Every structure is written in structure tokens, then in C-alpha cells.
Amino acid sequence: MLFNSYIFILGFLPVCLLVASGLARLPNRGPYLWWLVISSVIFYSWQDIRLTSLFLVSIAFNYVVAARLVRPESGYRFQILTLAVIANLLFIGYFKYLGFFASSANLALGTHWDVGKIVLPLGISFYTFQQIAYLVDAWRGEVTEHKLVNYCLFVAFFPQLIAGPIVHHRDVLAQFSSRTRFRLNAADIGVGMTMFTIGLFKKVVLADGIAPFASIVFGLARDGGELNGSVAWIGAVAYSLQLYFDFSGYSDMALGLGRLFSIRLPINFDSPYKAVNIVDFWRRWHITLSDFLRDYLYIPLGGNRHGTARRYANLMATMLLGGLWHGAGWTFVIWGGLHGLFLVMNHGWDSIFKTRLCSTGVANWRVWFGRVVTFVAVTSAWVFFRAENTTVALKLLGAMYGFPGTSAEISDALWNKLRDAPGCIAACMVIVWLLPNTQQLMGRVRPALRYRYRPDSVSWEGRLARLLQWRPASAAAVWYGGMFVVALCSFSRVSEFIYFNF
């Protein structure tokens, strides 16, 4: 079930809220929690009920293992953890990577292994990694409460189930255990619906609106058409913006839906295209994945504790695996490797010049220079993320950077299809670079876990954010109500979120 669908907005969500509002009045919070679990399983099952059994088996298996790991007196805890992590990796490896490994082996060894068509379960990367982190923390003694209903809801809570954020148990289990948390109120519903509306508008109006330009250019490169630099850059930047608003929209909707049920989820997206370097970018893009890779991969590999060379090797290994996490293909591995290289270059620059560009305390032109350079680097890497194969990616990059043999005259028919692209791209860049993000707009009401934004009154960004910040007033209701209507009227076709594929 998609957030941007009539069945979800006009059917599933109202029914879920209506029943929850009645159960919230009971003295025992158990029925309320189980209702959210059942609703989440229905939500997951909507698109393909055949895969629900795999999802439930994964939850049951990891719950039983964690029940053993949370007991310090249990024997063989490390061995049990190791076997459980291997089992989870084999689970995701079969469904997500077996075909990729088989095709790669066939290409390298000349074999003919055929694994057949394997259907990828929705959200498998998110709920599997979330549970692996839980098992590791249970083994470390950091899980203090392990109840079936809380665990099921921790994994299955539908706002974050399919595409994140990757929720850590310490972020939500305490909220599930609170006896005062589950009392639906008008304030949370107002905040939640506002954030959901902003995210919905980003997805169906902005992301889906600019997506055709990217599809035209990438399709042209795939089909062997001629490209020039202008067209290639239009396609690359259009996809960069499509992905930005698509993921940003989902993140806003996830936070808003959680808030409807008085649950604060962690922030996962914080204006990454305002980043002034690639380290800053990864502190803003897919924040919970960055935290997971740091805590459960980079630091266990040794982090920065064993010298510069080892640190850079750990960065590269982490980003290569992060790329493979996003998709089973060499294009994703190359994308992760590029970001690993960018991070190594960034840290190398910092170590040589003993300085790091940040967004405060430096000249304005340096901030914007850093933003532009970072955006160009990130957009260039996104070409591999979007392209069907490396040949398509290299052809597009060749046209973008004027490699010999990639310049061509573009037909009038193609320009007619792309004539609105420059204006749309410019408008989207204004939103991305100059306007406050959703968390800043909602900063007065603490829209995400451990997040509150107080704009300053000195900078123009702060003054603009202060002016536009959300307040429970009639004007805000009319404005965001209008956005909601426009978004509903833009449901011209079913459009999945890009991160649903991961």
C-alpha cells in the first residue's frame, strides 16, 4: 500500500485512526499496541500477501533469538548471536543478492547458473538490518525490555516499515512502554497531518512532476540515442531532484504518520543538498542508515583508531557495502565506491589543511562554493544510482563532462519534450537551497525525535524560517489544506517511492 494512494488516505488511515482512538481510552495499552501491529501487517500485505509469511517468520525468529540474548546468564550468547546474524544475512542475501552473484559469476567464469526469478520482499533491507542491530544490542546488554507486542510494533510500525527510517530500539521502545503516550490528541493530529501533507506534496507534485525529464534522458542513453552536455545535465540534475523530493517526501510522511499516533520517529533527512562537503552530506542524507553503518560496520572494523591508511580502508569498505545495501548491481557498488572516494578526499583535505568548511562562521561565498561542488559531485554519482548499467552511466557522464565523441545535435522533438525542464529545475533548486525544510518549518513543535529548531533573527535564512514557521492558525490550515487538495488532485498514476526498491 502506498502513502500516495486513495486507498491509504481515504480508507486505511482513517479506519486505523478511528479504531485506535477508541482503544486509546482503555486502561490497558495492550489492545492499542496490538491494533497497530495488526494494521501494520495489513499495510505490508496489501501489495503481495504471499510475502507476508516471510516477514512474520523474520520477526518470530529474531524475537526468539533476542529473548535468549537479553538474559546475561544464558550460555553461548556470542555463538547464538553469530548464527542469528548469519541467518539474517543469508535471508536477505537469497532474496536480494543471489541473482546478482549468479549473474556476476556467469560473466566472470563463463558458467550458466540460473536461479530463476526471485521476488524481492518489500522493505527487506530495512526490517532485516533493524533487527540485526537489535540482536547486537541485546547481546551487548543494551536492551532492558523485551516484550512481544513492543518488539512486533518496533519492527512492523507501518510509517517506517517499507523505507525507513531505520529505527533504533532505544528511540521507540520507551515510547511504546509509556502509559501516557497513547492518548490521541488534536495537537499531534494537527502536526502529523501538516507534515504528511508537505511530504505528499513533495512526492506527487515535485518528485513525480520532474521525474519524466530524467526518464527521457536516461531512456535516451539506454536506447543508444545521441546526447549532448545540456541534455545530459538536465537528465542528471532532474533525477537528483526527483530522488531528493521523493525521499524527502517519504521521510516527512513517515514522521507525520508517526506523530498522528503520538510517536516521534528519528529525523532521516535534513536538507542534504545544503551540505558544504561530502561529510556534511552524509550527516544529512539517510541519517539513520549513516548511523547504522557507522555503529555496526565502520566502528567494528576499527574506525579511525588504527592510523590513516586503515581509516580510509574502513571508509571505503563501509561505503562499498552501503552501496550494495541499496541495490544488487555493479552500478550501486560503483556509486558506493565513489562516495567512499569522496569521503577519503574530504578527510584527506581536512588532515592536510587542518580545517573543515562548515555552514557557520565562514564567508558566505565559501559556503555556497562548497554547496555547489558537493551538489555536482553527488549528482554525478547519482548517474550510476539511476542507470540500468555501467554502459549507460558512462555514456551519460561522458556527455555531461564533454568527453570526445559524446557531443551531438539534438532534434527539435527532443527539445520540445525537455523545454519545461530548465524552469522546473530552477524552481526546485530554489526550494532546495533557499527555503526552510519541513523540520525547520515545524521546529516549534519538535517534529522529530530529539529535534527542535529555533531560527535566529540575524541571518536571512533565520528570518525567513521564523516568518514561515508553522503555527496552529486559520491561515496555516487554509494554506496546507490547499496543498493537500492539490496533492490529491495530482494522483494521475501509481508511483512508488524510489526507496521502496531497496
Q: Is the peptide bond before 165 cis (omega within 30 degrees of 0)?
A: yes
Reduce the DSSP state of residue 403 to 3 states and report it. Answer: coil
159: how many CB neighbours lie within 10 A of its CB? 26
436: how many CB neighbours lie within 10 A of its CB? 21
- Angle (CA) 370-374-376 rounded to 5° is 120
Task: Record the cell numbers describing residue 486, joined without a space.
Answer: 492539490
Task: Record the cell numbers describing residue 378, joined without a space.
Answer: 553527488
Query: For residue 362, what are the CA distances in angstroms to 79, 245, 291?
Result: 51, 29, 27
Query: For residue 74, what are the CA distances in angstroms to 103, 241, 292?
Result: 42, 51, 27
Query: For residue 197, what are the CA distances in angstroms to 146, 251, 379, 437?
Result: 35, 12, 27, 14
490: how many CB neighbours lie within 10 A of its CB? 18
- Angle (CA) 56-12-448 rounded to 5° is 80
Q: How far apart are CA 446 and CA 452, in angstroms?
A: 5
339 catalytic? Reply is no
If you count them, how many residues does the chain have?
A: 502
Burial of 103: CB neighbours in 10 Å, binned 0-12, 13-18, 19+: middle
The single residue of 146, 169, 286, 326 carrying the catalytic annotation is 326
94: how many CB neighbours lie within 10 A of its CB? 12
Q: Please enumerate in sequence order all residues whose Cβ is within 8 A of that of 486, keeping only pairs 6 or more positions apart, or say none.
A: 201, 205
From the list 492, 1, 3, the residue with the least C-alpha distance to 246 is 3
Q: Which residues pair with 449 in a beta bridge?
A: 266
Q: How far apart are CA 131 and CA 151, in angstroms?
A: 10
The angle, 0 to 180 degrees and rounded to 10, between the axes of the packed helices 390-400 and 208-222 is: 100
Report the catalytic residues.
326
